[in-house]
Homo-oligomer: A and B are copies of this chain.
Amino acid sequence: MQSNQLTAQGQLRHFLTIEGLKKPMLTEIMDRAEQFSGITQRQVKKVPLLRGKTIVNLFFENSTRTRSTFELAAKRLSADVMNFNISTSATSKGESLLDTLHNLEAMHTDMFVVRHDQSGAAEFIAQHVAPHVSVINAGDGCHAHPTQAMLDMFTIRRHKTEFHNLRVAIVGDILHSRVARSQIQALSILGVSEIRVIGPQTLLPRDCQTLGVHVYHDMDQGLKDVDVVIMLRLQLERMKGALIPSAREYYRCYGLSPEKLSLAKDDAIVMHPGPINRGVEIASAVADGPQSVILEQVTHGIAVRMAVMSMALGAQQQETDA
């Protein structure tokens, strides 16, 4: 599937997936986020960059946390935000998804932030929107979560400066994780020297080798000498499906305890997209410990989303002007 997220001039029009993007684009997103990062800590945390723009949070899947960070990012850019919970909307009156979208476009809205439980939903919507609308993927099924991946890259760059000499381990349910998929793509593009995925056979995709990663079923081996440990959230509903035996057993094998973390480099950082399951995939002592940058990720999430939103609307503005 050829992604349509770039303009003819190679600028960001939508932000749907990390796949297919080039290193300079990822660097530009991080550089922009760096600028916005300062704003978020000022007394007046607003810039008028998107004043008069209307951003629609189109959430087909409930997520207070992700919706909040996009809402805050939009408001700090001075945009107007409209929250649209699709399950309670006109689609329940039998209107088709595309009719709902075209109605929102007709209201001269400028951006759809889309979360959907079906892989490919954001791409589908982007293929059908009017030229004046940008689409940001806020997570689609097991497919992609590109703003999460970029805030993770931003957090790594803040701590490690360079990517080329890093060894990064991603631990847990890689198979069902849109976060992991986008992270692996971003880490590859940014040229880290080694990406490891660690997890039980049942939670790793079969095509792991083709992703350019090294597979470990043993966590002790996998964590050895890594610079970055990315823990994934364990979807507890997986346990019903018998993919993992029990939370306790999972923690014993793949939970990040202080002992396990000590196998990584001394200055390794620990990341997690949240919300965390304490005692399931991560020990409290680690989540709250000195190597954890989990809350920094949340902070950087605002700046990265401000960056992507302003780039997508800026690129578009130039296209319309031309």
Contact = CB atoms under 8 A, between A and B. Distances in A.
A75 B80 contact: yes
A52 B62 contact: no
A278 interface: yes
Nearest to A56: B68
B45 A64 contact: no
Interface in A79-131: 80, 82, 84-85, 88-90, 93-96, 99-100, 102-109
Interface residues of A, number: 54
A94 B52 contact: no
B40 A51 contact: no
Interface stretch (A5-13, A136-144, A162-170, A291-299): A291-299
A295 B42 contact: no
Q: Oligomeric state, in number of copies?
A: 3
B295 A45 contact: no
A103 to B, nearest CB: 5
B108 A295 contact: no
Contact of A277 (B40, B80, B94, B277): B94
A54 interface: yes
Interface of A: 40-46, 51-54, 62, 64-65, 68-69, 71-72, 75-76, 80, 82, 84-85, 88-90, 93-96, 99-100, 102-109, 236, 274-278, 295-296, 298-299, 301-302, 317
